[in-house]
């Protein structure tokens, strides 16, 4: 990331507090302004309270509302019209990846096959590709 830009804001949504903490640290160290949400309801609260991230990372499997449902809710209400949305999940099924593309998500990263520092690199790459 270039130092002359203001920090990119990232919202990480997951129901696993350990993963939220770990990814938060990684993204902070890489110069991001990080906010975490423990689950979809928490994410909607954070967004409606005025946090406008440049990037949102969504876990797929969460209680109440999964990552797809959350993304659809955000789009339906036009809450984050300019956000780069990326699925960050352990689900690597082609059907899930295809659904993410159909819904208009910008990227899909499988946690199990990507170490956290690579996740940060991939997120930056996906962001840059979608913000040209």
Domain with residue 96: its CATH number is: 3.40.50.2300
The verdict on residue 33 lying in a domain is yes
Give residue for tokens 């913000």: 131
The total domain count for the chain is 1
7-37 pLDDT, tens digit each: 999 999 999 999 999 999 999 999 999 999 9
What is the pTM for the complete model shown? 0.94
Q: pLDDT category, 131, cuts 50, 70, 90?
A: confident
The answer to the question of residue 96 being in a domain is yes
Asked if pLDDT for residue 2 goes beyond 70, the answer is: no
Tens of pLDDT along 51-93? 999 999 999 999 999 999 999 999 999 999 999 999 999 999 9
pLDDT at 1: 43
The answer to the question of residue 15 being in a domain is: yes
Would you say residue 3 lies in a domain?
Answer: no
Instruction: Please give the pLDDT value at position 82.
Output: 96
**CB–CB of 40/62 below 8 Å?**
yes
The beta strands (E) that lie in 1-132 are given as 9-14, 33-38, 55-58, 84-89, 107-110
Task: Give me the pLDDT at residue 17, please.
Answer: 96
Q: Which domain holds residue 38?
A: 9-130
CA 111 distance to own-chain centroid = 12
């Amino acid at each position: 990331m270039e130092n002359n830009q203001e920090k990119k804001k990232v919202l990480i949504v997951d129901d696993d507090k350990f993963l939220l903490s770990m990814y938060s640290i990684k993204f902070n160290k890489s110069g991001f302004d990080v906010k975490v949400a423990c689950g979809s309801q928490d994410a909607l609260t954070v967004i409606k309270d005025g946090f406008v991230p440049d990037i949102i990372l969504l876990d797929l499997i969460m209680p109440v509302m999964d990552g797809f449902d959350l993304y659809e809710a955000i789009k339906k209400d036009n809450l984050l019209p300019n956000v780069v949305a990326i699925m960050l999940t352990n689900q690597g099924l082609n059907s899930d990846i295809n659904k993410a593309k159909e819904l208009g998500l910008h990227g899909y990263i499988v946690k199990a096959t990507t170490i956290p520092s690579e996740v940060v690199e991939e997120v930056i790459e996906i962001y840059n590709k979608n913000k040209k």
